[in-house]
Copies of this chain bind each other. A is one copy, B any other.
Amino acid sequence: MGYNLRLLVSCPDRKGLIAALSSFIAMHDGNILSADQYVSDGQTFFMRLEIKGEGFGLKRDEFDAAFAPLARRHAMDWRTSYTDAPKRMAILVSRYDHCLIDLLWRWDAGELEADIPLVVSNHPDLAPRVEAYGIPFHHLPVAKATKAEQEARVLDLLSEHGVDVVVLARYMQILGPGLVAAYPDRIVNIHHSFLPAFVGADPYRRAHERGVKTIGATAHYVTEEMDAGPIIHQDVAHVTHRATVEDLVRLGREVERRVLARAVRWHLEDRILVDGARTVVFE
């Protein structure tokens, strides 16, 4: 079966970078299927190339060595991925199931390029939902006294299963620094609000009290500072004075699952590059 190689690059901007990259591919007889490029503030160059595997002169065990000199010359940060080696995605969830079920359905429908080796939860409730899809469910309860220990076990599980990306599908625990540090720019969270408004807990109640006419959701990478990580995607829904807190929660569920699913899909397809506190998204 065919596959594509994806090459993601960022480096200090200078003349000739596109020529250098595309000529390298051409020299090895590669067919570029798509190319996206962006220069941030005139300083940092970002590029994403998708190259057809068939006919490309560099096998996957040869690419890195061949590309390294060019990368070194331009001080490039770079990574590759192959479309026939989907990322290994873990989902962390608590009790709310709407984001989880939406991700599982999309995965089952073939919308998400991923393997899902496990779902982890601090509550047992959603085990049947997960197991119906043939995915192992791990219940790791957490209490104040056991939080550090539970996180260590989560980290062990992720590591055992070779996880590449962690999705917080309404996981109602603040992650400790160890977990965050282990997956830099690889933990996707859905915040049930339009950041930076309503940082923190209970945003729908606070939105209702403030009388907002629009509610939103924000998908972002997790960093140490709560709800301050690079934003990947945001969307909103309009509401009227008739909306109760319960209506906001219901509408919010719809926005949350849509926003999270899109962010996860972009991550899995290597469409996101982090640019300081911001993200570059090559849709």
Contacts and interface: CB of A to CB of B under 8 A. Distances in A.
Interface of A: 15-16, 18-20, 22-23, 25-26, 29-40, 97-98, 101, 105, 109, 111, 132, 194-198, 209-214, 216, 230-236, 238, 240-242, 250, 253-254, 258, 275, 277-281, 283
Contact of A31 (B15, B98, B105, B209): B15
A234 to B, nearest CB: 4
A233 B32 CA distance: 28
Nearest to A110: B250
Contact of A209 (B22, B23, B277): B277
Given A22-B18, A241-B279, A210 B231 contact: yes
B39 A33 contact: yes
A235 B236 CA distance: 9
A235 B238 CA distance: 8
29 contacts: A15-B26, A15-B29, A15-B31, A16-B22, A16-B26, A19-B22, A19-B23, A33-B39, A34-B39, A35-B35, A36-B37, A97-B109, A98-B109, A194-B197, A194-B214, A194-B216, A195-B210, A196-B197, A196-B210, A210-B278, A211-B275, A211-B277, A211-B279, A213-B231, A214-B234, A234-B238, A241-B278, A241-B280, A242-B283
B235 A214 contact: yes
Contacts of A242: 38, 283
Contacts of A197: 194-197
Contacts of A23: 19, 22-23
Contacts of A34: 37-39
Contacts of A195: 197, 210, 212
Contacts of A275: 211, 241
B214 A277 contact: no
B250 A254 contact: no
Contacts of A281: 240-241
B38 A241 contact: yes
Ranked 3 nearest A-B pairs via Cβ: A211-B278, A197-B197, A19-B26
